[in-house]
Amino acid sequence: MILEDQYKNACDELAEKKEHIKKVRPSTAQIRKDNQQVKVLENQLDKCLVKYNNLQADNKTLRKEIDVMRKEQKNQNRVNKVYNHELRVTNEKAKKLNTTTFQGQRVSEETNN
């Protein structure tokens, strides 16, 4: 009797544990569905990573182009500064020449009169 009771208790305990495992463990259909969803999400992630990497490469290229343009702008500003200085000097020389010429004409007119 004792052995039969122990055997019956062990069978009941085993049945309980099997029932608990069925509740806790998902069905094979659910596992397949989850695996398929994981594959879909991994595929989407790979596509997004490719797109991200392409954008990063484009961004790097554009940054290099911007740096080149900044250097060109800096050089152009330096050249323009030199030209502006030369224009101011030439303008001042022209004003002095004009003043000298005007004074020369007045002196010439006064001597002729």
Region of 25 (left: φ > 0; alpha: ψ -120 to 50; beta: rest) is: beta
pLDDT at 61 over 90: yes
The answer to whether residue 14 sits within a structural domain is no
| C-alpha torsion sign, points 78, 79, 81, 86 | positive
Q: Does 47 fall in a domain?
A: yes
Residue 56 placed within a domain = yes
Domain membership flag for residue 30? no
Assigned domain for 94 exists: yes
Examine residue 6 and state whether it is found in any structural domain, yes or no: no
Model pLDDT for residues 75-92, shown as the tens digit of each residue? 999 999 999 999 999 999
At 9-58, the pLDDT tens digits run 888 898 988 888 777 777 788 889 999 999 999 999 999 999 999 999 99
The total of structural domains in the chain comes to 1
Average pLDDT over residues 58-68: 98
Q: Is residue 49 part of a domain?
A: yes
- Phi-psi sector, 92: left (phi>0), alpha (psi -120 to 50), beta: alpha
Does 32 reside within a domain? no
**Structural domain boundaries, residue 92:** 40-113
